[in-house]
Structure 1
Amino acid sequence: MPLLSTSQNTARQPRLTGADWVEAALHVLIGNGIEAVQITALARQLDVTRGSFYWHFESRENLLDALLEEWRARNTGVMLEAIRETSCLEDGIFSLFSVWVDHTRFDPKLDQAIRDWARHSDKLREILKIEDNARVSAIAGFYERHGFPEAEAFIRARVIYFTQISFYALKVEDDEDFQERLGYLNEYFKCFTGRDMDPALGAAHTAKFLKGISDE
């Protein structure tokens, strides 16, 4: 029987999907930065040849585009979904809080890795600006739906969103006790909305947050 050609060998490498390459690249991006996302290093990590990469992507640039799409889907998508349909102001604010504290949904390390990458790329800085604006716009729309004037809704959206992003950038959350933070839930709510929180809804959401911690 004749030996397989090089192209046949490449095709019969372990059956990695494009998603496998993207996931591996995301881990490298988060851990070591964009310069470390290299085809040869990823192939070595995945124990395949470079040919396996080209089965799914035309170039490294295509892979980087896929990383950005994954970031949008994970971090912007989950945030927009959290406030798309909310029955009251409390539900929307607590939905945002729950997304931001659940790192299986919103990945702050990925968000910060993208921001670090954007410091070295004019193109990515513009993309990041568009995504930040989309997030703020969605939160502002949520505020408007619950009775806030347009200008106030926009400013409150910027305050709550960029406060949270700053928490990640400064690693404030790593140093804080989560249950202690929950004790300030009413104060956070009033700060971000200017309104008093419904005590029953606050208690229900606090219990939900605490249950989430115990289930981890």
Structure 2
Amino acid sequence: MMGAPLLHRDNPAKNPLIGNVKVTRQDWLNAALAVLKQGGVETVKVADLAARLGVSRSSFYWYFKNRSNLLDALLQHWQDTNTAAMVAQANAPADTITTACCNVFHCNINTDLFDNRLDFAIRDWARRSDRVNVVLKAGDDARLAALTAMFARFSYDPLEAKARARVLYYMQLGYDDANLGETLAERLAMVPGYLVAFTGKSAHPKEINAFIKYARAVTDA
């Protein structure tokens, strides 16, 4: 007779698992990520996560040594997703600098690619922890280095490439935090102007249309 199926839930917002069901390491991590984004690192507690998942607290220790081990996993997840995604998008193939910037814009329009709420949570956590602040700085440095190299590939002077990378990066970070209340259509209408501001160049209409098509596809999914 086969044992109970090992269920994996990707959406921690669903109702808790019920019955004699095992959960995976990813289930615990997903639940912790949801709590971290909702209430900050202080609210990530093993007993509360177990209740959220509807399982025994003891099952946590099949996957993690302790709470600190879980917190380390959350930081690693942030590095492997948000930071890795932005670096990858900055390095994505592009024939023009405006297309390259549109590739980076994918991070701000696609929450599956780049989770802004997680970024905000990590930054808030870093204000309380020197260790996390070191990890955060390393992530920021990696992202800025990739963006600077992106501009440099299109023959911008090194200092100008660095300056434009900073403007692009810090504007992208703060965009959602500004809570502008704009519609997707209003946001997309600003893209040509943003590209001129970031690059000093006007994008071809086909580049704008390609990005708009991408944005609408991921927001309608």
User: TM-score w.r.t. structure 1 length?
Assistant: 0.87
**What is the match of residue 186 of structure 1?**
192
Once the two structures are superposed, the pairs formed by residues 12-27 of structure 1 within 5 Å of their partners are 14-27=21-34
* Letter matched to residue 201 of structure 1: E
- 1:49/1:203 CA distance change after superposition, 3 Å: closer
Contact 2:28 2:60 in 1 (8 A): yes
- Bigger mean CA offset, 175-184 vs 113-122: 175-184
Query: Shift of residue 77 of structure 1?
Result: 1.2
Structure with larger Rg: 1
Task: Work out the CA distance in 2 between the residues paired with 1:109 and 1:210.
Answer: 21
Query: Shift of residue 85 of structure 1?
Result: 3.0
- 1:16/1:212 CA distance change after superposition, 3 Å: closer
User: TM-score w.r.t. structure 2 length?
Assistant: 0.85
**Could you report, residue by residue, the CA deviation over 1:13-55 in whole angstroms, capped at 9, with x for unpaired residues?**
7322211111110001111111110111111211222210111
Equivalent residue pairs, number: 201
Is 1:155 paired with 2:176?
Answer: no
Root-mean-square deviation (Å): 1.6
Is 1:43 paired with 2:50?
Answer: yes
If each structure's helix is expressed as a fraction of its own residues, which one has the higher value?
Answer: 1
**Could you report, residue by residue, the CA deviation over 1:62-100 in whole angstroms, capped at 9, with x for unpaired residues?**
000000111111111111111223222222111111221
Of 74, 86, 105, the residue aligned with 1:79 is 86
Q: What SS does structure 2 have at the residue aligned with 1:113?
A: helix
Task: Work out the CA distance in 2 between the residues paired with 1:115 and 1:171.
Answer: 17
* Letter matched to residue 87 of structure 2: L
**What is the match of residue 105 of structure 2?**
97
Runs of at least 4 residues off by over 6 Å: none
**What is the match of residue 29 of structure 1?**
36
Task: Work out the CA distance in 2 between the residues paired with 1:125 and 1:169.
Answer: 20
Identity, in percent, stands at: 36
